[in-house]
């Protein structure tokens, strides 16, 4: 049966109207270069074919420039590794929100919290929780950081002499334990009693669930999630956290509303006592904070150890510095004053964060029209992606050896010579990482204990490291490490 001319005309009108409503997006193509991609698919097939390797974006930027326009499906996306553009985006009130596709996925998995809240709700919550990450509060966690790092060293002791092994599972348990205790205001003994293998496995699956829901948005629907079994792990964690919160409320029926503790859960319970937030919001925020800490801290410690294993010259320089601060080795307490003396460890830490930032990509929605510093008008609705990974490796900023590991590049460097947004491992601007100081202290204590007591080697070559796109920094094939006890 032939198609009616009226239907053809109607279809053509719809197409023309659709294109007309998006005309401002297409004007961007005259301002910014970039790959056009396939109709309706954009450049997504390129990333899929290349197994989401980050060097796909590197190739785009080397070809089209440090700020370009690409398409994911029919959605226009501005990608940039230019620090000036990063500053424009990360400080703009029109780009305060992470893209809805990501925040909806995070909210459906972790519940309401800093990672998923928007607008005034996010601003109020951030102001409230800032108190939980002040210096005096973080220093009160030193005993927890030391105790858990002591256990980590003990676990590494048990694998000495067993050849190369994957340390990441032990590091995940370490980071989970400290996040669990500090966020929920519980003791090490309570944490051990509450933690089970099933709980650890459930927490470990959450990032993968978020990625699935970002890539396949219809999985954000609860019915669909249940059909595919995505909600089971979330329910286990919700039950686990609800039990802890209930016990807190029951054990402190009169004092939780005037708590003197500044831990995350106590701050939230104070609001709950005043009727300003719900029980679900307490649980969701605790889930957000713990999950944000687990993977970022564990992978960062792992990347530091991997790089030092690959470059023993720098490992020995760190060891000599540690030996000067902790002459006896073995079991020692790391105080905050000790961390101030570990200057070369700082350089190694920063260089590792430069090459492998824990969150390699920051993505925002343009909620209103605004201008970039290069004069380009960004229309409302465009997604802006700051490629932190590629900005940290941009040869225009870091020199011809930007891809190489060299902690000495941070020696006697005047930060004023570098654009303030050229090095942003914990992001920057209004939505920077609230826990960046927490991460620095906990990670450096773990590194100090491990590197003072062990020599680390690997047969994996630096040139074979391949980074792949993920919410948290990920290597395609994580290197295995070999540990040997130091005798002095």
The pLDDT of residue 316 is 98
For residue 44, what pLDDT band results from cuts at 50, 70 and 90? Answer: confident
* The token pair that represents 41 in the structure block: 């698919």
- Give the Cβ contact number of residue 105 at 10 Å: 24
Please, which pLDDT band fits residue 448 given cuts at 50, 70 and 90? very high
Q: pLDDT, tens digit, for every residue of 381-411?
A: 999 999 999 999 999 999 999 999 999 999 8
Helix (H) or strand (E) holding 18: helix 5-21
- Per-residue tokens: 96: 């305060």
Q: Band of the pLDDT at 213, cuts 50, 70, 90?
A: confident
Task: Identify the residue whose tokens are 């964060």.
Answer: 353
Q: What is the pLDDT of residue 342?
A: 97
DSSP 441-481: HHHHHHHHHHHHHEEEE-S--GGG--EE--SS-EESSPPPB
Q: What is the pLDDT of residues 185-208, one digit of tens each?
A: 998 888 888 888 888 888 888 888
- CB atoms closer than 10 angstroms to residue 332: 18
CA dihedral 117, 123, 125, 128 (to 10 degrees): 170
CA-based nearest residue to 430, from 201, 123, 209: 123
Count the neighbouring beta carbons within 10 Å of the beta carbon of residue 192.
13
- Does the pLDDT value for residue 257 go beyond 50? no
Query: Region 418-445: what's the mean pLDDT?
Result: 94
Q: How confident is the model at residue 417 (pLDDT cuts 50, 70, 90)?
A: confident
Dihedral (CA of 268, 271, 277, 280) sign: positive
CA distance 177 to 286: 14
Which of 209, 254, 256 lies closest to 233, judged by CA? 209
8 Å CB contact between 194 and 240 = yes
Q: Is residue 221 pLDDT above 90, yes or no?
A: no
Write the pLDDT tens digit of every residue in 114-152.
Answer: 999 988 889 989 998 999 999 999 999 999 999 999 999
Q: Tokens 């040139």 belong to which residue?
A: 463
Least confident range of 198-212, 217-231, 449-463: 217-231
Task: Give me the pLDDT at residue 465, please.
Answer: 96
Q: What is the per-residue pLDDT for 3?
A: 65
Q: Which two tokens stand for residue 484?
A: 């040997």
% of the chain residues with pLDDT over 90: 62
CATH number for the domain running over 32-485: 1.10.630.10
Q: 124 is written with which tokens? A: 């109020």
What mean pLDDT is predicted for residues 467-481?
Answer: 92
Cβ neighbours of 388 (radius 10 Å): 26
Which pLDDT belongs to residue 461?
97
Q: How far apart are CA 440 and CA 72, in angstroms?
A: 35
**pLDDT above 70: residue 236:** yes
Q: How far apart are CA 325 and CA 259, in angstroms?
A: 37
Q: Cα separations (Å) of 458 from 306, 342, 443, 478, 483? A: 8, 24, 21, 11, 9
Q: What is the structure's pLDDT at 274?
A: 86
Least confident interval from 215-229, 232-246, 299-313, 405-419: 215-229
pLDDT of residue 416: 66
pTM over 0.75: yes
- Identify the CA nearest to 128 among candidates 267, 31, 230, 258: 267
First to last CA, the chain: 88
Q: What whole-number percentage of the chain has pLDDT above 70? A: 93
Give pLDDT tens digits for 79-121.
Answer: 999 999 999 999 999 998 888 888 888 998 999 999 999 888 8
Res 305 pLDDT > 60: yes
Name the average pLDDT for the chain: 90
- On the question of pLDDT at 228 being above 70, the answer is no
Determine the Cα–Cα distance for residues 360 and 358; give it in Å rounded to an integer: 6
Domain ranges of the chain: 32-485
């Amino acid at each position: 049966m032939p198609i009616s001319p009226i239907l053809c005309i109607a279809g053509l009108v719809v197409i023309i109207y659709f294109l007309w409503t998006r005309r401002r997006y297409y004007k961007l193509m005259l301002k910014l270069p970039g790959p056009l991609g396939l109709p309706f698919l954009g450049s997504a097939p390129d990333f899929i074919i290349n197994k989401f390797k980050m060097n796909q974006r590197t190739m785009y930027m080397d070809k089209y420039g440090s700020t370009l326009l690409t398409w994911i499906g029919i959605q226009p996306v501005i990608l940039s590794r230019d620090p000036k553009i990063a500053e424009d985006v990360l400080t703009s009130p029109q780009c305060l929100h992470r893209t809805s596709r990501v925040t909806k996925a995070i909210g459906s998995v972790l519940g309401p919290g800093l990672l998923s809240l928007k607008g005034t709700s996010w601003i109020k919550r951030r102001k409230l929780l800032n108190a939980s990450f002040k210096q005096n509060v973080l220093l009160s966690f030193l005993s927890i950081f030391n105790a858990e790092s002591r256990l980590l060293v003990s676990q590494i002791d048990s694998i000495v002499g067993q050849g190369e092994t994957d340390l990441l599972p032990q590091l995940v348990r370490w980071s989970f334990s400290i996040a669990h205790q500090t966020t929920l205001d519980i003791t090490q003994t309570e944490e051990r009693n509450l933690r089970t293998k099933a709980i650890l496995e459930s927490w470990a699956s959450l990032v993968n669930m978020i990625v699935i829901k970002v890539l396949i948005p219809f999985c954000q629907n609860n019915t669909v999630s249940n059909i595919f079994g995505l909600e089971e792990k979330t329910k286990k964690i919700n039950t686990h956290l609800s039990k802890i919160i209930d016990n807190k409320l029951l054990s402190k029926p009169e004092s939780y509303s005037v708590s003197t503790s500044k831990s995350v859960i106590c701050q939230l319970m104070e609001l709950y006592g005043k009727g300003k937030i719900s029980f679900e919001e307490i649980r969701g925020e605790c889930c957000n904070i713990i999950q944000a800490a687990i993977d970022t801290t564990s992978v960062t410690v792992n990347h530091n150890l991997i790089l030092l294993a690959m470059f023993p010259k720098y490992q020995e320089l760190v060891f000599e510095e540690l030996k000067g601060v902790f002459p006896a080795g073995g079991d020692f307490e790391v105080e905050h004053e000790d961390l101030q003396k570990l200057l070369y460890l700082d350089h190694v830490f920063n260089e590792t964060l430069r090459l492998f930032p824990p969150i390699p990509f920051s993505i925002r929605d343009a909620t209103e029209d605004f201008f970039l510093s290069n004069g380009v008008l960004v229309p409302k609705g465009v997604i802006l992606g700051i490629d932190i990974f590629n900005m940290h490796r941009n040869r225009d900023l870091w020199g011809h050896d930007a891809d190489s590991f060299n902690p000495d590049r941070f020696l006697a460097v005047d930060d004023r010579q570098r654009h303030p947004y050229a090095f942003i491992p914990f992001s920057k601007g209004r939505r920077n990482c609230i826990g960046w100081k927490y991460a620095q202290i906990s990670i450096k204590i773990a590194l100090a204990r491990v590197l003072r007591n062990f020599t680390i080697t690997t047969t994996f070559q630096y040139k074979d490291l391949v980074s792949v796109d993920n919410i948290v920094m990920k290597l395609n094939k994580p290197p295995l490490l070999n540990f040997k006890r130091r005798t002095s």
